[in-house]
Amino acid sequence: MADNDSRQGKSYFNKAILDWTAAVHAPHDAGLQQAFDAPARHGLPPIQVAPSEGKLLELLLRLAQARTVVELGTLAGYSTLRLARALPAGGKVYSLESDPRHAAIARDNVAAAGLSAKVEVLEGKALDVLPSLEAKGPFCAVFIDADKENYDRYGRWAAAHVRTGGLLLGDNAFLFEELLDDTPRALAMRRFHEEARAAFDTVCIPTPDGILLGVKR
Ligand code: SAH
Ligand code: DHB
Ligand code: MG
């Protein structure tokens, strides 16, 4: 089989360069900085998207002229703010979070950023909460960033509830270098990739841990 690796095995990951380009293109105002710093401040895991990834989410939603977004996995609200910033007046992010403490911290950060009118943080396990959102759909975008073992189920929900031309976004699409392993969550993530391709035009953007992008057919 042909080797389509244009990098010929070399890794181009360089933290200093990522930090410099993020500072140029994806700087934080006070609201974004508070949400970005919140996991460390409150003892939550520091697993929010990187600044450049957050800015990418923002620009992709603007390109799609998104008005309604469903986010799975709020944490402290950093990506939630990035999504909300892309929406016009009257737009809404429904962000699903299973940990009540995370949800409370996120609501505070969203309020501090002045974006409460555009965000609803919904508590509960995503698979339990998603059915209650269906009447508000179809949605302009779904951003998946919660428990990795359910990405295949989340992707199926997105395929059924994203409008034509709307976006599927999936963080950690390389699964921390474990995508090709023989584990239940690796199988679920590979199914997520393969099934997304059937309902969306897709690409896996090679960020450090991969972001799956799909445009609904
Ligand atoms: N999107 C956030 C990071 C999310 S981290 C950001 O970039 O800023 C993943 C979050 O998903 C955690 O807060 C975790 O509590 C939550 N989570 C895990 N399993 C979940 C589930 N089944 N339903 C909803 N949220 C879940
Ligand atoms: C983890 C989860 C994430 O969504 C992420 O972006 C990084 C790490 C985790 O569960 O460890
Ligand atoms: Mg993630």
Residue 149 in contact with ligand 1 by CB distance below 6 A? no
Say if 9 falls within a structural domain: no
For residue 1, the CA-to-ligand 3 centroid distance in Å is: 32
4 belongs to a structural domain: no
Give bridge partners of residue 167 from the DSSP assignment: 141, 215
- Token pair of 107 as six digits: 């609501």
131 in a structural domain:
yes
DSSP 116-180: GGGEEEEES-HHHHHHHHGGG-SEEEEEE-S-GGGHHHHHHHHHHHEEEEEEEEEE-TTTTTTTT
For ligand 1, whether the C-beta of 143 sits within 6 Å is no
Residue 1 located in a structural domain: no
Domain that holds residue 42: 15-216
- The 10s digit of each residue's pLDDT in 13-24 is 899 999 999 999
Instruction: Name the amino acid, one letter, at 81.
Output: L
99 within ligand 1 shell (Cβ under 6 A): yes
The domain total for the chain is 1
| pLDDT of 2 | 56
pLDDT at residue number 10: 75
Cis peptide before 138 (omega within 30 of 0): yes
Q: Verify whether ligand 2 is closer than 6 Å to residue 71 (CB atom).
A: no
Q: Whose CA is nearest to atom 7 of ligand 2?
A: 47
Dist. CA 88 → ligand 3 center (Å): 25
Q: What local confidence, expressed as pLDDT, does residue 3 receive?
A: 64
Tell me whether residue 130 is in a domain: yes
Amino acid sitting at position 171: D
Q: Which residue has the tokens 């953007």?
A: 205
Q: What is the pLDDT of residue 4?
A: 66
Provide the CATH number for the domain around residue 150.
3.40.50.150
pLDDT given at position 11: 77
**Rounded to the nearest whole angstrom, what is the distance from the C-alpha of residue 157 to the centroid of ligand 3?**
18
203 Cβ neighbours under 8 A, 6+ residues apart: 212, 213
Which residues in the chain show pLDDT less than 70? 1-8
Q: Which two tokens stand for residue 100?
A: 């009540």
Q: How far apart are CA 161 and CA 142, in angstroms?
A: 9
Q: What is the pLDDT of residue 1?
A: 47
Mutate to test the pocket of ligand 2, among 36, 47, 52 (most ligand atoms within 8 A of CB): 47
Domain for residue 43, yes or no?
A: yes
Domain membership of residue 2 (yes or no) is no
Burial 113-134 (b: 16+ CB within 10 A, else e): bebeebbebbbeebbebbeebe
